[in-house]
Chains A and B, each alone.
Chain A
Amino acid sequence: MRYFKLPDLGEGLIEAEIVEWHVKAGDQVSTDQVMLAVETAKAIVEIPSPQMGIIEHTFGDIGDTVHIGEPLVEYQGENDSVSVVGNLSAEPLGQVSANNNGSNTEANNKSQAEAKTDRFSIGIKSSTMIAIQASPSVRGLAGRLGVDVEQITGTGDGGRITSDDVEKAARMNQNLGDSEKLTGVRKAMAQVMIKSHQQIVPVTLFADVPLTKVASEMTIAVAKAIAFACIKEPALNVWFDGENMSRRILDFVDLGIAVDTEQGLFVPVLRQVQDRDEDDLKAGLEALKHAVITRNIPPAELTGATIILSNYGSLNPYCRYGTPIVVPPMVAIVGIGALYAGEDSGKVLPISLTFDHRCVTGGEASRFIGYIADYLNNIKTE
């Protein structure tokens, strides 16, 4: 044995503090000769040498804490043995992190030195996600017929899926082909929209804003207008916690921009819109769009928006109005439609603003649209 490692000296001890060394490097020791004294949580214990030999090195000084399984003494000219001395392995078998080259042990040791946090909650954690109900036999039938039970609406008691439901779905599949399971961005969109639908109390205001001049980059112009409106009417630039009924009014505008792609809807975030000029914002938006289209967008660039802009008007010249969906914890989203010619041939910008009425009043929302209009028409306001 080359290394003698600290064994479990009591029952379930994890470490010991060195009290005294009776030997030093270079000493010849005999079997059972006391080498050191350590103090555990239970007792002061003298540790003898398990073998004869010359000590090459001792590990740890008086006052140091040694963990079970760590070396105490190295003997000269011995081969290392794979196992810990004797029959008792100090480390448990079968750890999931076992192939981390021993970093596992370091992590354990560290954890013993520092207090760990202990996260737990009492009993039920509220969650709205409830799985569908289908008996094992129905699930078995569905498997055999190639039907995904998650795609079926049950007609049995409490929405339980029956074998009839499965057979009906199977016939549908046969006639119409398999349904397509949502994945990736489209699935994420579905989840976000469901969550929004369950939580938000939405109200949408529609406005037709006549423009005295038309900006060349409407998205960027409206982005700046929103930032201006957010400063003038901060109630819409908010993160709202509906569970605790608390809101956080934000003094920066990180604007989510809806970007349509074949895979689905992305909403990359333009940061600090209130402080940036239009050229800078334009370059930033182009970079984000490129990253989305080439699928190189880092996840961090898709989170943390304080309000969203959706320019669906740019997709189709006939689209004017919408009821865009607020994504919590945000409380507002601005949609702009295609410019159209007004009565006196002036250009009109249709704006649709959805806000969460749990947290925002109609007055605040109306004023917000007013500030957008003012900004776009260069009207100075107090």
Chain B
Amino acid sequence: MNNNLENPDCFKQVSLVEAINMALDYAMSQDESVVMLGEDIGKNGGVFRATDGLQEKFGQARVMDTPLAETSIAGAAVGMSVAGLKPIAEIQFMGFIYATLEHLICHAARMRNRTRGRLSCPMVIRAPFGGGIHAPEHHSESTEALFAHIPGLRVVIPSSPARAYGLLLAAIENPDPVIFLEPKRLYRSEVHDVNDNGQALPLDSCFTLREGEELTLISWGACIKECLAVVDQMNAESGNDKRIELIDLASIKPIDFATIAHSIKKTGRCVIVHEAAKTCGVGAEIAAYIAEHLMAYCKSPVKRITGFDTVMPYFRNEQHYLISELDIKAAIDESLSSDF
């Protein structure tokens, strides 16, 4: 039921990357201060086509192909946002985002604080991330924890077309800098019905994808695909459609601990899945929270299924690094069968 007369229902069957395009299109048409900048985002429509057709529609002044210089892209976005625009910068791959860190950490993340609210940086940095698409070196890493560690930044990762649409709109509307990381393995993997009605989703919230009572499975990004397959299969096989609860973290920073706590209190068991390397990954933060606040509800130790503490192997061997459905299932089985 949609009660918003200005934004009637408009369902479209789209992939995740098309949902990104749809959200960008919507935000650009609603708000003149929204601009986009990045490498190859104009005529080429982005190397993944996320910005396809937008330069043609909104002009070169609002959809800017930049010189090949990530530092400048981030620094210019800081300046633009301070001056009243809402820049959405695309970094072509997460592997090339590190040149932006000085601007993001030293300026975007703290402009509001430094000036006691006089100036702020309402900007979005979009970047595709993660492995599994046979991409060259430096094109497959997951380093979301780097940004999650920075006070003042928000980090958001969608895992379905509808959440990509709603969360990107929320990121654009948000008055603070948002790092919006797009799981590129999911860009075209599925097509869903998404309502192009301009409705944003909340930024500080987890999403419960499946309700369950015996174990809480927490993940985000591309791993959600394997998690869903495992949960649906395990719930169906056990004849209990409320067996495993699946939570899409979605907001990596800040984390919606209330939802996680609620779930752990119910299930008493937790498995965390992420593609990023294990040590100091975001999973460690969640496990630490559970240890601090929810230990007495836990029937078995928290388990993390993550990437290894290695450089992401080049794609010929990347399947030995990426997390499979069987890996997740094995961890769930182990957690369900072990007690303190």
Contacts and interface: CB of A to CB of B under 8 A. Distances in A.
B259 A14 contact: no
A88 interface: yes
B134 A117 contact: no
Interface stretch (A134-142, A163-171, A195-203, A305-313): A134-142
Q: How big is the B interface, by class?
A: 35 or more
B229 A127 contact: no
A94 interface: yes
Interface in A163-203: none
A157 to B, nearest CB: 9
B134 to A, nearest CB: 5
Interface stretch (B60-68, B102-110, B185-193, B277-285): B185-193
Contact of A117 (B187, B193, B262): B193
B329 interface: yes
B205 A123 contact: yes
Given A116-B190, A123-B205, A11 B325 contact: no
Given A96-B230, A122-B205, A124-B258, A135 B134 contact: no
Contacts of A115: 13, 191-193
Interface in B52-70: none
B340 A140 contact: yes
A129 interface: yes
Contacts of A134: 296
B97 interface: no
Contacts of B160: 118, 120
B268 interface: yes
Contact of A131 (B184, B266, B301): B266
B9 interface: no
A261 interface: no
A94 B267 CA distance: 26
Nearest to A113: B191
A124 to B, nearest CB: 5
Interface string B105-149: 000000000000000000000000000111100010000000000
Interface in B160-192: 160-163, 184-185, 187-192
Interface residues of A, number: 45
In this complex, the member of B133, B134, B265 whose beta carbon has the largest number of chain A beta carbons within 10 angstroms is: B134
Given A11-B184, A125-B211, A96 B134 contact: no
Given A42-B49, A122-B205, A125-B211, A97 B326 contact: no
Interface in B241-281: 248, 256, 258-259, 262, 265-268
A78 B250 CA distance: 49
A93 B324 CA distance: 7
Interface in A72-115: 87-89, 92-98, 111-112, 114-115
B26 interface: no
Contact of B229 (A11, A89, A97, A133): A97
Given A129-B266, A143-B340, A120 B325 contact: no
Contact of B265 (A41, A130, A160): A130
Nearest to A149: B299
Contacts of A123: 202, 205-208, 256, 258-259
A294 interface: no
B299 A121 contact: no
A41 B49 contact: yes
Interface stretch (B30-38, B73-81, B83-91, B315-323): B315-323
A96 B213 contact: no
Nearest to B327: A94
B113 to A, nearest CB: 27
Contacts of B188: 12-14, 41
Contact of B233 (A94, A97, A133): A97
A46 interface: no
Nearest to B323: A94
B101 interface: no
Given A131-B266, A131-B297, A8 B324 contact: no
5 contacts: A12-B184, A13-B188, A118-B163, A123-B256, A139-B339
- Give the top 7 A-B pairs by smallest Cβ distance, nearest first: A94-B324, A12-B133, A139-B340, A94-B326, A133-B296, A136-B340, A131-B268
